[in-house]
Structure 1
Amino acid sequence: MAEPHHSINHTLAEDAQAFALGTTMCSLGLLILTNLGLITGQTAGLAVLLSYLTGMKFGVLFFLVNIPFYILAYMRMGTRFTIKTFIAVALLSVIADQLPNFVKFSEIDPLVGTLIMAGVTGLGLMVLFRHGASLGGIGVLALYLQDKTGFRAGHTQLIFDACLFTVAFFVLPLPMVLYSLLGAVIVNLIIATNHRKDRYVAL
């Protein structure tokens, strides 16, 4: 997960609408993802996989698995980022669990659903990044380890996702794992293309 940055100080109202929009878009992506029986990368992927295995709700698991990372977030990026991330994670946890009560899909083509899921998730993450927040998790740990040991953050995330998808091969049907990989790649491409300090900086 890329390190969030923002070039201007947003008002409380601006942050509030961005958090509502960003977490809702990510929740919609997760709703499509889970309807298809897919997973994603990073901490969200771990929570989704655990929800499949245990039957527990995604939101509860996502909130719980993120708890250890708040200390690292505070040490690495300070109080403001940590509070915003906590709020974003809490919002996503609630919305993701409640959205299926209001939005239902009778049929989703796996390929089209994967593309739409990746698109709305990538855009939702971009909204949160632009307002100085993230959805926590392995990205924070990766940045912390990079600071302390010099081990590249991208390599840490890659190792975690490799382990996660390896486990998925034993849990999910092969086509679902391949669609999941495609979705994760597209989300990362959206972030890599748009979340850059040398481009798209708000004025």
Structure 2
Amino acid sequence: MDSDLRPEKHYTRFEDMQGLLLASIQSALGLHLLRAAGLMTGGTAGMALLISYATGWAFGAVFFVINLPFYWFAYRARGTVFCIKSLASVTMVSVLAEAVKPLLVIDHINAATAAVLFGVSTGVGLLGLFRHSGSLGGVSIIALILQDRYGFKAGWTQTIHDLVLFGVALWLMPLDKVAWSLMGAVILNLVIAFNHRRDWYIVT
């Protein structure tokens, strides 16, 4: 049977829910390890970590609030389903990142180890979110809009934002922690770059 004639397959609602939950747990775990080492990352998660370090406010609450303005852009860029799934994903990661703190207490973790485990764990989590049409909101949505409307590559928008964010981090954090943070962000991006291929996914 010609593959072009096969009926298009979709995830069921349950498959979507469990997929987004598992991916959110994976992402929250990676962020918990990163936070335990006092490191940061790119995107709105990195922005929330910097604010959390500077103010003592809970990361989960800051991360949730920072993402609120981006849901309108998510709706405009990809529609209602993407917007709702992004909201659900960000909410779950925000809650789980705080819920895991008293359950997985880390007195010490090597910075390099935290960076690597964060990059792998959260990278795999993001792959799961992407596969189920979700996201962790933030600048990536703006990047998609700029690419769709003006042809400006989404990767460049994300890179410019993260360079500015890491530049700010240099004023607030020790140089070695910024360097390990950058390594973790690079690993995360490599995990996504090597494994995120929509044409490999049969089910949507």
Amino acid at match of 1:124: G
3-state secondary structure, aligned to 1:104: coil
Q: Which has the higher contact order (CA 8 A, sep 6+)?
A: 1
Q: Which runs of 5+ in 2 are unaligned?
A: 1-7
The correspondence of residues 117-196 of structure 1 with structure 2, limited to 5 A, is: 117-196=118-197
Amino acid at match of 1:57: A
Amino acid at match of 1:201: Y
| Structure 2 residue 13 is matched with structure 1 residue 12 | yes
1:48 aligned partner: 49
1:201 aligned partner: 201
Deviation per residue, 1:40-61 (Å, 9 max, x gap): 1011110111111111111111
Deviation per residue, 1:16-40 (Å, 9 max, x gap): 2112211111111111101100001
Distance 2:108 2:97 in 1: 19
1:25 aligned partner: 26
The range that moved more, 105-114 or 81-90, is 105-114
Distance 1:149 1:17 in 2: 36
Distance 2:9 2:121 in 1: 24
Distance 1:64 1:112 in 2: 29
Bigger radius of gyration among the two: 2
2:40 aligned partner: 39
2:4 aligned partner: none
2:86 aligned partner: 85
Aligned-pair CA distance for 1:90: 0.7
- Contact 2:39 2:111 (8 Å CA) reproduced: no
Distance 2:162 2:113 in 1: 23
| Structure 2 residue 99 is matched with structure 1 residue 95 | no
Amino acid at match of 1:193: F
Deviation per residue, 1:153-201 (Å, 9 max, x gap): 1111111000000000011111100000000000000001100134x32
3-state secondary structure, aligned to 1:102: coil
Distance 1:19 1:128 in 2: 6
3-state secondary structure, aligned to 1:81: helix
How big is the alpha-carbon RMSD for the aligned residues of Structure 1 and Structure 2? 1.3
Aligned-pair CA distance for 1:106: 2.5
Amino acid at match of 2:144: L
Which portions of structure 1, spanning 4 or more consecutive aligned residues, are displaced by more than 4 angstroms? none
Distance 1:153 1:130 in 2: 18
Q: Which runs of 5+ in 1 are unaligned?
A: 1-6
Distance 2:31 2:150 in 1: 33
Please give the TM-score of this superposition, normalised by the length of structure 2.
0.92
3-state secondary structure, aligned to 2:198: coil
Q: How many equivalent residue pairs?
A: 196
Name the % identity: 45
Distance 1:58 1:34 in 2: 9
Distance 1:93 1:127 in 2: 17
Change in Cα spacing, 1:8 to 1:175, as seen in structure 2 (3 Å) is farther
Please give the TM-score of this superposition, normalised by the length of structure 1.
0.93
Amino acid at match of 2:148: D
